[in-house]
Structure 1
């Protein structure tokens, strides 16, 4: 996209968008503007020239018309959880979807329609009123849009696949301002692209998901252990890989959370069934003698609140991701913990950081071939993630480098691209400047051809880089 016009009067947006219901906020608007640029990670707060809080697809189309005409840099904010600044921009325009949070459930058809600015809390609570649920994020103040368009792993993934595997259709505003529906039967090529690379193709204003009966409560919660139990926890993770039936999940990792700020191993367990069956399945962990057991039988809609406190909005944060295979060698994991813990302990204010092994069953995920949609992270491996939290801005580059190196080491067990076809890189954990081939693999060529079809001027360039390329027909 061309550089912004240097003489554009951003205050004119208030008059230009007067016929819509959009609210335009500028730095002169005080507290309301300041609240509008807050993000989950403090280092992603950027001072936009204008924040346009849209309320409808028409608002989005009208805003994009100004962006196109005046060549204004822009980005789109859904939940504001990106740790790489995808939802923020300096000096340009933020199209803010946070006023579009309506959720409609069709109990008979078992579908959920969620507007583009909804959070998973909105979806979980509304679906629960009808005894339904769909695959969603593990933190309920995460935006539906960002998580879904990048893939979407959740506690129900082992049974129903990814969020995008349960996406039935989207309503999307294209770079031209045109409003279209994309599904398997309407603009199917666009639907193929949206499921994995949606932020590169337009502004999704409505998501429609398949939902499933979820009347029963679930057994879940954190078990906390001292680090000397790492070998036994790894052995259970190896066993989990072979015995789960898709109704369980295990997220385990290292941190040093308050109030003790001492190193521990956190095991978040999940069983979609009774407490008795859940305790039997995870018996090996209970027998290890956790220093804290917060597991219980809870309604499904409370499940995605369990990480909320540890995922609060204070501090600077960065996600990073890789892949690992099971079985893991316990000694290898002990070494990773030692390296992680030494780094965190030597830097003040980093105790809430985490290295997490997301052991979410993938058999259901792998029933869908990588070429069926642009999402390309399907293979015989699991995601490993870092979430670093700190407060001193002078540490930004050091933490970024350490995270990248630690993930490279943690991912040594997964040569996923050569053996499994998947890229081994979850898009929602990838930096904005990552090479498109590392996220989309063999799907890049088709994506760039579709980018030329739907956004030839590369208006939506504030994300994983895709170059619009015309389809070359060989006679």
Structure 2
């Protein structure tokens, strides 16, 4: 059945499982009844929004697959300055609806990413330096509790607001004005590594919260390629990207465009193309020249080791600087146990086709993470307890790596709200 295939499908085949069946709740009442049945029968289940999770079993199952795609409304409330978004939408669907409204929300940076997954994990955005994480811009959300009760959670609900876990059917997000933006992407040859490195190091000193840059290092078929992504929340870039724009390129385009067009243009750059995919989170405090070199060396080293095993293998590292005040826009959330200083959510990613190499790829990413983390420590960065980003983190990491000292409180919240541990039947990070 096409509905079943759509319901279980994920962006990466490594995250897809053939469930016993799928169900598409069409209302919160449906969701409540489904959850009650699953709890009473102790049936394993999974909840899928956009299907972008790269950890197997996090939003897929051999049991009952719940597909949230019917929670698909977007409503702008000008009076309250908020936007209601259904948890089954992807960010590009939301941006398409908002394109002509003059407002926008803090959300995902590429096509296909689901609302719920990004929000529940924390959510880094092109607008994070201005407005904080996506979760910092939540005004409320509709939640189905493990016992089937439906509630609207606000900042007055201390524990649930702090935890932001469970089956969310709708988010109420703060809106912000949106004009045309300036952005795009540029490719560079490997002989421009030093120039890109210097531009990235200098960019971190700019202190322009409207500007966002990402640098991707990708190894495939014996070659290292470089890609820079640019976003400026205004129709001109004010010269903040001058160091990057002075570097000779091999392709790409930057210009003034709508925010929605930017997201659409970026989409093809980060698709899985039907390949398996794992990611691993590497939090750093800043990108020094030495740390940049470590990312390059590790990408080339492990890329050269893995390429002979799979002709479709690509190994990449993404470096994502933000403004130093990015965590000052919110407080009291489970993710980010320490908001006192900035942490940048770097990520290493492997893509390949042969399923027998899954464990090999996971081991490689963990080794890369360990080496780069050690390099950050040697660089004088206090990252021993820096929070990994849950939406990038590879399965198997201790909860303390993501939530630090908040783990114990989260376990108490889970025990109080769901003593029968119904949510333990689902995937994801286990409390």
How does the TM-score come out when normalised to structure 1? Answer: 0.84
CA deviations over 1:191-242 (Å, ceiling 9, x no partner): 1110xxx1xxx2101100001001x211111111111211221111111111
Q: Does 1:297 align with 2:256?
A: yes
Q: Does 1:151 align with 2:122?
A: yes
For residues 307 and 387 of structure 1, the distance between their equivalents in structure 2, rounded to whole angstroms, comes to 17
Q: Does 1:326 align with 2:297?
A: no
Q: Does 1:173 align with 2:140?
A: no
Relative distance call for 1:362 and 1:49 in structure 2 (3 A) is farther
Q: Does 1:452 align with 2:386?
A: no
Alpha-carbon contact 2:130-2:209 (below 8 Å) kept: yes
Q: Does 1:381 align with 2:343?
A: yes
TM-superposed deviation, 1:392: 0.7
**2:136 is paired with a residue of what secondary structure?**
helix
TM-superposed deviation, 1:437: 1.2
Match of 1:284 among 243, 246, 255: 243
Alpha-carbon contact 1:48-1:89 (below 8 Å) kept: yes
Alpha-carbon contact 1:107-1:130 (below 8 Å) kept: no
Match of 1:365 in 2: 327
Match of 1:315 in 2: 275
Q: Does 1:142 align with 2:142?
A: no
TM-superposed deviation, 1:45: 1.6
CA deviations over 1:148-204 (Å, ceiling 9, x no partner): 11100010111111000000111000000000111112x23211110xxx1xxx210
Match of 1:228 in 2: 191
Match of 1:268 among 226, 229, 233: 229
Match of 1:106 in 2: 77
Relative distance call for 1:108 and 1:142 in structure 2 (3 A) is same
For residues 414 and 405 of structure 2, the distance between their equivalents in structure 1, rounded to whole angstroms, comes to 15
For residues 191 and 373 of structure 2, the distance between their equivalents in structure 1, rounded to whole angstroms, comes to 23
For residues 431 and 276 of structure 1, the distance between their equivalents in structure 2, rounded to whole angstroms, comes to 35
For residues 237 and 343 of structure 2, the distance between their equivalents in structure 1, rounded to whole angstroms, comes to 29
For residues 323 and 237 of structure 2, the distance between their equivalents in structure 1, rounded to whole angstroms, comes to 21
CA deviations over 1:246-298 (Å, ceiling 9, x no partner): 111111021257xx984211111112223362xx2212122221111311111
Superposition RMSD in Å: 2.3
Match of 2:393 in 1: 430
**2:320 is paired with a residue of what secondary structure?**
strand
Match of 1:9 in 2: none
Match of 2:175 in 1: 211
Relative distance call for 1:50 and 1:417 in structure 2 (3 A) is farther
For residues 375 and 418 of structure 2, the distance between their equivalents in structure 1, rounded to whole angstroms, comes to 38
**2:386 is paired with a residue of what secondary structure?**
coil
TM-superposed deviation, 1:117: 0.5
Larger relative contact order (CA 8 Å, sep ≥ 6): 2
Match of 2:202 in 1: 239
How does the TM-score come out when normalised to structure 2? Answer: 0.92
Please give the residue correspondences for 1:90-105 in structure 2 after superposition, counting only pairs within 5 Å: 90=62, 92-105=63-76
Match of 1:50 among 16, 21, 45: 21
Q: Does 1:87 align with 2:46?
A: no
Match of 1:16 in 2: none
**2:231 is paired with a residue of what secondary structure?**
strand
Alpha-carbon contact 2:213-2:320 (below 8 Å) kept: yes
For residues 360 and 22 of structure 2, the distance between their equivalents in structure 1, rounded to whole angstroms, comes to 31
Alpha-carbon contact 1:253-1:356 (below 8 Å) kept: yes
Alpha-carbon contact 2:212-2:230 (below 8 Å) kept: yes
TM-superposed deviation, 1:366: 3.8
Alpha-carbon contact 2:315-2:351 (below 8 Å) kept: yes
For residues 55 and 106 of structure 1, the distance between their equivalents in structure 2, rounded to whole angstroms, comes to 23
Q: Does 1:119 align with 2:79?
A: no
TM-superposed deviation, 1:418: 9.2
| Paired residue total | 422
